[in-house]
Structure 1
């Protein structure tokens, strides 16, 4: 504690107690009669000195912390309280000053501030890491079309990401509770879902389940949910969190694969049956091994041409111009010289396409051997149209030979080729077929229902969508 006299020059110290002397290291003789400024040093803030002097000048009380220096030059934080003392007439007589060393307190405060700053930096870093981790997780989940979800126990509060809501056919802002989710699940799968969630709650088991849902638009979707339970310090399951995956496309592709495999087996069996029939009938009607070999080879080439045509069209269908051209191309040399082909651009289903190619090939082979194509001047007209029969539209297709040798009439024995043309083709097209052996040239005609063009197009579109799915995997 100090007392100074402002009424003397330079406001000298007139009293200093022992505590002040111990604090500063000075003796009483070194202190008395001096201004307090001797405590200031190189690290004393000039701004603090100015504040102190201003208060003294205004005769005002001031409390502040300032760096002072001891006799040995060491610094310390001094908490100073200076208060003016007035006599009964209001005249300033003394200044009372107390000092308190608060260096340790200030050091602790500085350390606390440094620790706080370090914690702030660490918190910012962890917050940034967490935000980046969440962004990475959100990117991964979005890219993989994985929805996230959380279900709390015992209140069954469901929280879903936007992707999970879309899996159920909902918009991001639509309400979606646990009861809503159960109601969306197909009834036969709902009990399994509830049982799996109950096991997770009661036994702390992980959940993995495939189930079907129906969206508000009526679409059935396959989803898979995976989740892990949350267990607190008391081993109580407080909820579970996991992901939701849309398996609909995968399930559809799997179904289409089964259909494709079955269809492939069916087509192979049909092809083998056709080959077997061609070989058996050709051998039965051949007069020599050489003739049988030639006939079988020609008919198998015709069958191959039909398969090539359907393969180019993904086994969906083929147009009648494509069918006629594929069957007659080996005989139309030079191209367009021996055949006139014209008619509507109608599509035929696969089985009808195979039957027509084989029939036209058989007609062309016979025309080369016996009919219009056996002489240079002969040619064939193939045309077709849709004609009204009673109340139904019917396809009328004609093969008409011109310029060949006179036709003596029907052969004495009906060969396999004739039966193939008439019976097999009529059965495949669900129509009537007949060969007319006119003297001027053979005429073949078939009348059959017009194939449903919309159905053929829809089938082609479905198969194309399926193939794009396979190609994208």
Structure 2
């Protein structure tokens, strides 16, 4: 038997010791008392909130709320308590020193042997850093989207210019431009907005993207590799990398020249660290290559590849850019 401020909890000593010493902050309140006060909190709860036992015991958990705590989250908690249901609520809470943290609060009822409501438990999880990382990744994704949209416009302009060099009637020119721009938009929509839960082969992705970007069709590219199904976690990064390489090739490299071409080779290799997907992008027949002074697009790709523990190297050969990418699979 364990007593918390005059309240007796029927439980064994091992369980109580585990709760008391748990790293997850935990408190227990008594809904049978006026204002549902906290009757127990463990050390992790005090460490998280900065409050002492004397500050907490006998007070309602609203003491953790503050000026920027949303009414919606408070109402969500109240509804869960009134309905006697377990629930998880994200709520902005305040420590004793006034600092804030985003709390993934899990609450639920505890019933006695007679099936009557005896207590409510509340476990706290500080997800402030997780939310900050989600915001950072969203901002990165937003910048990547803007970068993609600008590139699409630039690539469209090059495709129209190169198509105009072919000997075509106005009608044929219009039809071919429309066809090529549709292929470009479809490649972006299909490969970038596809479900993250769907796997794909590397060849399917490469063929879709290069078919859309090469102004003169499959004459301008060669694919060479085995049938490799990508893990779902690598699909987005692979797609964005290929889009970036193709975009840069149209704007500055081989695909911006009707005599230029790209060879894309890929294979699966194994070593002491596990299996890797390695692909090599080689451009020939384009303008003379010089290492660019600005690498905003490359910087974005570098961050994405590093996020999946991959590697990318750029070899700025005079005859054409060679890019080697490795992804652990």
Query: TM-score with structure 2 length normalisation?
Result: 0.44
Query: TM-score with structure 1 length normalisation?
Result: 0.32
